């Protein structure tokens, strides 16, 4: 256990203010980097650390930074912080920005220095209205102390941080849609290539990173990339914020070392404290609503019988057949009182509502999925609807412009794969299910690994 890195001082009163944060060793990394390191060295440290994007995809951050087009010095380069955290079940960035905003500001200063971005944007979702004020206060404080603005710490490097609010669209968390929205346009994802590293914000090379990723640069600089890489297992290095919610005894945001056994995370009193007392563990969505749902026993052990760890690799072991993904760390636990059909309907309704409407499979498909699931849940479903759902999901997956289509399709495919009986029950006994939770006891099933 290396202890907490980002949330180390979270319980210190007043850590939200610059002075307390500074007294607790804040801005040490900026001092160190600006005095002793060149921008390339920071990037080298980040590469060495093996830090992977914390927003969901898990792409190596150092590699993403190295893709940034530096061949045209006349064009400005931008760093954009993606704080449009809208994934159902994920609230880690909110926690970080709300209680310890300076760690993000510090990470942004370091990253902007490394990438040569003089204007850095935080694109934050409109629903986080009060956090916008917190961030702007933090930016103001940092500016007053000379950590932002012109000629930071006498290095000649200028950097401004602008906080920009979104208007409440999930799709604006997709990086190219975010850039469109930031430019003041309709938040439609762009067609890639070109990638933002070459043609991003206002047509200039841009890096878009998640809040937690950028904050993680601070401990990387403080302790050195090699040290940071020692935390974790294999390619999953460092610590990760997990926002645990659902039917557990202690919901909340936890900072864990990647590589922690899932059993320990779920059941130990230090973290989630186990599934709601008196209930059985039924299913889990381990990485935010977009990742496949898996039954509890498949979550604790893989099909081969190995214990799962909280890492990118281990959670996706078994692929889409018996695995899931670490995603953005939205850990949603469900006990046996949850109706999977209703849960899935709720998710599909979300994706239907949030589809941007640009490409046809997603625009039409998400609506179709939602309507069928609504029928099933409300007792108007048929047996053939179940196969139809799978088929529609298959037609959406991979055929869309952005990953929202995949995100809408994966939960459907996995829920039906693992909990088909529940769907069949809904189709067979329509009058027992219409709009009630009570039916769940009727088909309590043994949570065995599915037969392959």
Partner 1 sequence: MKITIDGVEAEVEPGTTILNAARGIGGELVPPAMCYYSKLKGSGGKCRTCLVKVTKGSEKDPRPMPKLVASCQTPCQDGMEIQSVSSPEVVEARKGVVEFLLINHPLDCPICDQAGECHLQDLSYEHGKARSRYEEERRTFDMIDIGDKIKLHMNRCILCYRCVMLAEQLTETREHGVLYRGDRSEISTFIEKAIDNEFSGNVIDVCPVGALTDRTFRFKSRVWFVKPLYAHRDCPTCVGKTTIWLHGQEVYRVTARKDKYGEVEEFICNTCRYDKKSPSDWTIEGPAQISRHSVMSATQYKEGIKVEAPKTIGYGNISPR
CB of 415 to partner 1, least distance (A): 20
Q: In terms of CB distance, is 43 or 392 closer to partner 1?
A: 392
CB of 323 to partner 1, least distance (A): 18
Looking up tokens 């090379």, which residue turns up? 205
CB of 348 to partner 1, least distance (A): 12
Q: In terms of CB distance, is 240 or 352 closer to partner 1?
A: 352
What does the alpha-carbon distance between residue 171 and residue 366 come to, in Å, rounded to a whole number? Answer: 14
What is the binding site for partner 1 (CB under 8 A)?
Answer: 169, 171, 186, 191, 352-361, 363-368, 371-372, 375, 388, 394-395, 398-401
CB of 47 to partner 1, least distance (A): 23
User: 379: phi > 0 → left, psi -120 to 50 → alpha, else beta; which?
Assistant: left
CB of 382 to partner 1, least distance (A): 9
CB of 354 to partner 1, least distance (A): 7
CB of 347 to partner 1, least distance (A): 15
Q: In terms of CB distance, is 25 or 398 closer to partner 1?
A: 398
Q: In terms of CB distance, is 181 or 237 closer to partner 1?
A: 181
Strands 160-165 and 117-124: parallel
Q: In terms of CB distance, is 81 or 372 closer to partner 1?
A: 372
Q: Which two tokens stand for residue 288?
A: 């935010």
Q: In terms of CB distance, is 24 or 363 closer to partner 1?
A: 363
Q: In terms of CB distance, is 266 or 325 closer to partner 1?
A: 325
Q: Are the C-beta atoms of 117 and 43 separated by less than 8 Å?
A: no
Chain CA centroid to CA 142, Å? 27
């Amino acid at each position: 256990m290396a202890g907490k890195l980002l949330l180390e001082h979270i319980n210190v009163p007043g850590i939200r203010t610059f002075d307390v944060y500074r007294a607790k060793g804040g801005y040490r990394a900026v001092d160190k980097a600006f005095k002793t390191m060149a921008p390339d060295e920071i990037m080298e440290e980040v590469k060495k650390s093996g830090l992977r994007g914390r927003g969901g995809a898990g792409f190596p951050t150092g590699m993403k930074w190295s893709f940034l087009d530096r061949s045209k010095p006349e064009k400005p380069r931008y760093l954009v912080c993606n704080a449009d955290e809208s994934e159902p079940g994920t609230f880690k960035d909110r926690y970080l920005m709300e209680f310890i905003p300076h760690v993000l500001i510090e990470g942004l200063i370091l990253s902007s220095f490394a990438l040569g971005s003089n204007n850095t944007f935080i694109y934050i979702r409109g629903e986080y209205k009060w956090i916008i004020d917190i961030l702007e206060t933090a930016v103001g404080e940092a500016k007053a102390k000379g950590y932002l603005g012109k000629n930071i710490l006498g290095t000649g490097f200028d950097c401004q941080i602008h906080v920009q609010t979104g208007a409440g669209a999930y799709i604006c968390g997709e990086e190219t849609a975010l850039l469109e929205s930031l430019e003041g346009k309709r938040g439609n994802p762009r067609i890639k290539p070109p990638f933002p590293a070459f043609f991003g914000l206002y047509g200039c090379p841009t890096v878009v990173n998640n809040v937690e990723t950028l904050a993680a640069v601070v401990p990387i600089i403080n302790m050195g990339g090699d040290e940071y890489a020692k935390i974790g297992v294999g390619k999953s290095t460092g610590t990760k914020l997990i926002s645990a919610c659902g039917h557990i005894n202690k919901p909340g945001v936890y900072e864990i070392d990647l590589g922690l056994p899932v059993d320990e995370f779920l059941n130990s009193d230090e973290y989630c404290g186990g599934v709601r007392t008196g209930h059985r563990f039924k299913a889990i969505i381990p990485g935010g609503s977009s990742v496949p749902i898996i039954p509890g026993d498949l979550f604790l052990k893989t099909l081969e019988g190995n214990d799962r760890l909280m890492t990118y690799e281990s959670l996706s072991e078994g692929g889409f057949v018996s695995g899931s993904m670490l995603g953005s760390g939205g850990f949603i636990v469900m006990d046996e009182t949850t109706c999977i059909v209703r849960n899935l309907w709720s998710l599909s309704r979300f994706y239907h509502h949030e589809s941007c409407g640009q490409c046809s499979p997603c625009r039409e498909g998400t609506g179709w999925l939602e309507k069928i699931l609504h029928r099933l849940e409300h007792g108007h479903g048929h047996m053939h609807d179940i196969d139809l759902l799978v088929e529609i999901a298959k037609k959406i997956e991979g055929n869309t412009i952005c990953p929202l289509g995949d995100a809408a399709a994966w939960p459907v495919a996995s829920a039906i794969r693992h909990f088909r009986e529940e769907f069949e029950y809904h189709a067979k006994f329509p009058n027992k299910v219409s709009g009630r939770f009570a039916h769940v006891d009727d088909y309590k099933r043994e949570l065995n690994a599915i037969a392959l």
